[in-house]
Amino acid sequence: MEFFRKLELRFGKYAVPGLMRFFTALYAAGFVIAVWNPYAYYTYLALDPALILKGQVWRLFTFLIYPPSTSILWGVLLLWVYFSIGTTLERVWGTFKFNVFMFAGVFFHILAAFILYFATGSVWPLTPSNLNLSIFLAFALTFPEMQFYLYFVIPIKAKYLAAFYCVLEAYAFITGSMVEKVTIVLSLMNLFLFLKVSGIFGRFSPKEMKRRADFRKAAGGAPERKIVNMDRAGAANAGASSGKTARHRCAVCGRTELDAPELEFRYCSKCAGDYEYCMEHLYTHTHVQ
């Protein structure tokens, strides 16, 4: 985490704001190309290591011009969904971290294609489908309680959709060939890096889970702490006057579940002590050492 902070201090000024707009524009261009000529992508644009080594270096970038769907309805819907969750992640994580996440995904796709080419002697043109999956899984880990409407009707939380996709990927990894295993691992490597950098792995360790459980048990009968953020004082007083005691409070902004029931809170495994943060500040706060 400290290494990533130093990296951001040095290279953060080069981060591209609104990066998801460019990816969405590429997907939209791919949709138009697929409607015009379904074979054009694989003929001229796909990630083909053999042709790249012969000089067609544009394929290192143009392989991203691949639509999530060629159906007009689902194509437009998925473009909007990916644009929305991508821009949301950038606002929550910050521009630099989101840039690293996306470009790492692109890099690992390219790396997977070349490893498979040199290992098998065959071309396995990888599309950015797993890059899109990694975006959704990262969003689901950041906002697990967010609801999506399946077929515009059935409400389902992001964490359950993510679990479903993870089961599918795990099944494909277990039953698939070595090519599929390499593809799945490397094309989702940016997600693994995100989990490591954000400290999510640490929050699921047995030691950390026990620490949080002990803290919640001890806090059950503890008096409510004062809110440092004066902008939230009125809401805190209102909650106290109604006889309710806040169980969760963000250490940065002071908001509790009494201020807004839809707020989600998480503990930070990198902070020394029991510090809890709302999702807005979980990835942007300064760690307490």
Give me the phi and psi of 72, to 5 degrees please.
-60, -50
Contacts of 67 (CB under 8 A, 6+ apart): 27, 28, 30, 31, 34, 75, 79
For residue 30, pLDDT beyond 60: yes
Q: Decide: pTM greater than 0.75.
A: no
pLDDT of residue 217: 60
For residue 233, pLDDT beyond 90: no
- How far is CA 238 from each of CA 106, 170, 232, 252, rounded to the nearest angstrom? 49, 48, 10, 20
Of the segments 81-90, 154-163, 202-211, which one has the largest average pLDDT value? 81-90
Tokens read off for 79: 């473009």
Alpha-carbon dihedral 191, 192, 198, 203, rounded to 10 degrees: 120
Collapsed DSSP state (helix, strand, coil) of residue 155: strand
Enter the DSSP assignment of 225: P
- Inter-residue contact 168 to 160 (CB < 8 Å): no
Tokens read off for 70: 């060629």
pLDDT in tens, 13-27: 888 898 999 999 998
